[in-house]
Each structure stands twice: as structure tokens, then as C-alpha cells.
Amino acid sequence: MNAQRSHSPPQRRPRWHRALATVLALACALPASGWAQVRLPALGESANADLSVADEKRIGESIMREGRRDPTYLDDPVLLDYLQSLWVPLVQAARQRGDIDADTAAYFAYEAFLLSERSVNAFALPGGFVGVHLGLIGITNSRDQLASVLAHELAHVTQRHIARSIAPGQRSSMVGLAALLLGILAASRGASADVVNASIAGGQAAAIQGQLNFSRDMEREADRIGYGLLGAAGYATAGMGEMFERMEVANRLNDAGNFPYLRSHPLTIDRIAEARSRTLVPGSAPPSPPLAHALMQARARVLMDTSAQGLQRLVRGETSSPVLADRLAATYAGAMAATLLRDPARMASASTAMEEALRRVRGANPREPLAERTLLLLQADLQLARGEAGAAVQTLAALPAVDSPGVSPRPALLLRGRAALQWGRQDASAAAGDLRRVTEDLQTWVTDQPQDAAAWEQLAATAEAAGLQLRALRAAAEARAAVGDLNGAIDRLRAAQGNARNVQGQDFIEASVIDARLRQLVAERRLLVLEARGGR
């Protein structure tokens, strides 16, 4: 789906809507030739005549620069790592099939991210970004079902559907653009928020309605391409049909606005029948093991409502289901809720329940290392909440290896940083070695993943505790830069410069990096200002 159809009313997500206004302003500044030809390209045909790859990348990055600072943007390391473990094989399959050409491979991010929304939704943005709501994860029963949605959205990206919709939707896009600009103008003149939001929402509604018929063709194309990606990535292709069936059932209910995915992805009889018929084709992979996904589904449901009242409903961790996956999910949700509530008695009970859950997972056939790893990560988090930092360090050291694309050391690395800091406060001499090791490991990680704001923040904390002041200051600056706060990053780097006088050895190298990075960020900020002014 396109960016305009991906979000709720403006009052709920101010940063995303400011970003979208910027996007449309950028689109308005594109060369006139970009709007010239009104047609639907054939499958695989370049969409550069409508919107260039470079422009699409720039638009997507503009949205994400604002969106990463929005309260709904969720960086839960465990759940995000699971999403990546599903996403990466799909991207790899798209490359192998030739769906990703050289231009988009070089320019697009191909990044999946989470939003802490209860609604059942997922969407593609320009530049290869795909967002997933917690509510979508919460209703899926298997990783194949969730992967089918990711495959569908990835197909929107690889087929350049957003770029291809620019010219056919020229009139409706301009209606939406005019409404957004009117809203921005009203805001600059001090109009009330209700007036601004009404003008933006009304214009967007007109633009959306005008593109629905056109988007149905793209949805069918995304179904077909996504189905091929799903199988090529090793998932059970029945997951797409199962997901459609679940959506069809949900569509019969009064969803009270909680199922935007159903409205922006119209479930016609033909699409449902086609998805079901594909399951009859031989050669599909068998259904995936259920335990890891059940745990992640439980985690998503906990994160949907972290209020005290919401956590209280889950903390008992009980279910009447005899199915192992259901029982593990209930235990996991209860332990996570107890950890977030910080209730000593409940955490003690949850710790006992987690030991039993680990025993059951280790005895499962087939064995699922990812499920075991997921339980151990929560156990370490629970131990930290109980003040048992040394035990948490030992738990993290016992994590099983998981040989799967997309599964990274990131969740454990961030937990190790927290554990080392807490252990250092309890016993500085005993924790000194582990604190130094995790600092170096975090430094290695952010060298390869420079946009990881949470890792930079963790590095800032561990480096400061280890007495590495310049590294800590630089890491704090990089954390701000990673979420698009260039002013905050520049301020921190200038503060680091003030602490870098007369340094030698390793500190001299760090000071040189700070000087170079400051110049780079100042230049980047200047370029963004020029873009915002239309290049003047």
C-alpha cells in the first residue's frame, strides 16, 4: 500500500504526518517529466519515468527520519530480531529471483520495522521500508502467515508500486498535496489543531478513494509476486492462504477501525480463491515449527498494552489449552508482564515457571533453538529486574547458537550491556572485565550497524562506566544522529571536542573521529536545510 493509506488520523501520529507532508512537498518539487505519462507499467518495467529510484530513496528516508522519533516507533530488540529473521530470507530470495535490480539494490534500505499499534496493519513506504503493527503479529498463528504479509509488502517495494502510482494518481495526489499544504499553512498562521487536522484528513480521504480501483490491481500483483517469494525463501506457501482466511473471518466482524489492512488490501472472492488454489501446487515447504512464533506472538500482545491494568490481566500466565505452544506463550506473557510490573512475588513465581518452560522447550521434538534462546533472553531480563546481575550474565553466556538468516546477536548484546552496568554497580571489581568486553563488542557492532540508536546509547553508558569519556560522548552523539536529531548530535560532538584537548594515544584517535564526524553532520544538516528550501 502507499504511504498515504498507511497511517491513522493526524492527531494520533504527528511525526509520521509531518514526514508525509515533507514527502509530498518533495514530490511536488520533482521534475515535470516525472508526472508526464499516465499508464501502468508492465510487470518488471522500470518506474523511473514516474519517480526515480534516487527520489524514492530520498522520500523514504525523509519519512523515516521523522518516524523514528515518533512514540509509536518500536525498537524492541527481541521482537525486531524475530521480524528480521523472517524478512531477511525474503529479501535474499528476491535478489536471487531477480526481483531486486541493481538500482534498487544500491539505493533502497530493505528495512522492516515495528510500530506499537494494536491495529492489524502493515505497509510499504518509498525506499524499501516496510512497517508492521504489533496487532498484525498478534493475530498470526505461524511464522508462515506473518512471512506471507512481509512477502506481499516486499513485492510492493520490488515492483515499485509507489513510484508507478504517482502518474496514474496524479490528480488525486495533487488533491492530497493541496490539502496537506493547506494544513501546514493554517498551522503556520495559528489555526486550531482541529481545523488543521480536518483539512489534512479530508484531502487524504479524497486522494485515497481516487486510487482504490488502481491499487486493487497492484494488490493482486503483490499477491502473486509475494507468493513466489514466500516459497523461494523456504516458507510454507499455505501461509498466504491461511492469512487470507483469517482476514476474511475478521472482515465479517465489526472491527471498529482496528483492521485497516483489510480495507487497504481488499479481499475479493477472486483473490481469496486464487490464494487457496495455490496451496494445491506441490513442492511447498512443510509448516514451520510453532514454538518460537507462539512466544513472539505473546510478546507482541504484551507490548500492545503495557499499562498496569493490561499487565495485570496477563501476569498469571495460565491457559486451559493442552497445546504446548499455547502453554508456553501464556507462561512467557506472564513472566514478561511480571518483569514489567517489577512485583517481587510475581517475579519469583515467574522465574519458577520459566524454568519449567525451558525444560519443556529443550525436550520438544523437533527442537527449536530460537524458542530456547527467546526464553533465556526473557529469563535474563527477569533476573536483572530481580537485581541478579551476575546470574543474568551467566544466563546470557549459555544462549544456544541459532543458525538462521536474520537472527543477530543484538538482543543478547544489549542485555549484556545492561547486565554489565548493573553488575558493576553491585561489584565493580568483579564486573570490570565483562564491562570492558561488552563495550568492545558494542563498538564492533555499531561499526557495522551505524544506524542502531539503541546500541549507540548502550555503548555510551558502558563506555562511561569503563572510564572511556570521549567514546561515551561520541556514542551519545551518534545515538541522536541515528534517530535524525542532527542538532542534538552536533551539540554533543561539540561538547566532546571541548573535552578532547591535549589527548594522546587512543583518545587522540577518538578525538580525530569526533572532528571528522562533526564536519560530516554539519554538512548533512546544511544539505537538508537547502532541500527544505527547494534547493535555494
Same domain, 274 and 295: no
**pLDDT score, position 280:** 57
The larger pLDDT score, comparing residue 355 to residue 164, is at 355
Same domain, 92 and 237: yes
Same domain, 256 and 321: no
Any residues with CB less than 8 A from the CB of 377 and at least 6 apart, and which? 78, 396, 399, 411, 412, 415
Domain boundary among 230, 250, 278: 278
**pLDDT score, position 260:** 53
pLDDT digits (tens, 9 = 90+) for 115-137: 998 888 888 888 999 999 999 99
**pLDDT score, position 486:** 93
Same domain, 257 and 344: no
Residue 417 has pLDDT above 60, yes or no: yes
pLDDT digits (tens, 9 = 90+) for 298-329: 999 999 999 999 999 998 888 889 999 999 99
Confidence of residue 422 (pLDDT cuts 50, 70, 90): very high
Q: What is the mean pLDDT of residues 107-118?
A: 93
Same domain, 304 and 268: no
Same domain, 118 and 149: yes
Question: Which of 28-37, 238-247, 351-360 is predicted with the least confidence, judged by mean pLDDT?
Answer: 28-37
**pLDDT score, position 258:** 52
Domain boundary among 399, 427, 452: 399
424 located within any domain: no
Same domain, 298 and 374: yes
180 located within any domain: no
Spatial contact of 383 and 391, defined as CB atoms under 8 Å apart: yes
304 located within any domain: yes
Residue 42 has pLDDT above 60, yes or no: no
| Averaged pLDDT of the chain | 80
Active-site positions read 153, 223
Same domain, 294 and 253: no
The count of structural domains within the chain is 2
- What residues make up the domain containing 114? 13-33+40-167+213-278
172 located within any domain: no
**pLDDT score, position 305:** 93
3-state secondary structure (DSSP) of residue 114: strand
29 located within any domain: yes
Residue 88 has pLDDT above 60, yes or no: yes
- The values of phi and psi at residue 527, to 5°, are -65, -40
**pLDDT score, position 354:** 96
Any residues with CB less than 8 A from the CB of 298 and at least 6 apart, and which? 329, 330, 332, 333, 336
pLDDT digits (tens, 9 = 90+) for 429-454: 999 999 999 999 999 999 999 999 99
**What is the spatial order of strands in the sheet that 122-125 belongs to?**
73-74, 111-115, 129-133, 122-125
CA–CA dist 524, 484 (Å, integer): 11
Spatial contact of 173 and 28, defined as CB atoms under 8 Å apart: no
**pLDDT score, position 44:** 39
**Of all residues in the chain, what percent carry a pLDDT higher than 90?**
53
296 located within any domain: yes
Spatial contact of 129 and 255, defined as CB atoms under 8 Å apart: no
375 located within any domain: yes
Residue 188 has pLDDT above 80, yes or no: no
Q: What is the mean pLDDT of residues 20-48?
A: 39
Same domain, 152 and 250: yes
Same domain, 154 and 298: no
219 located within any domain: yes
Domain boundary among 380, 399, 418: 399
Same domain, 219 and 350: no
Same domain, 267 and 319: no
Q: What is the mean pLDDT of residues 366-391?
A: 96
What predicted TM-score, i.e. pTM, was given to this entire model?
A: 0.82
Confidence of residue 406 (pLDDT cuts 50, 70, 90): confident
Which residues in 80-221 belong to E strands, given as ranges? Answer: 111-115, 122-125, 129-133
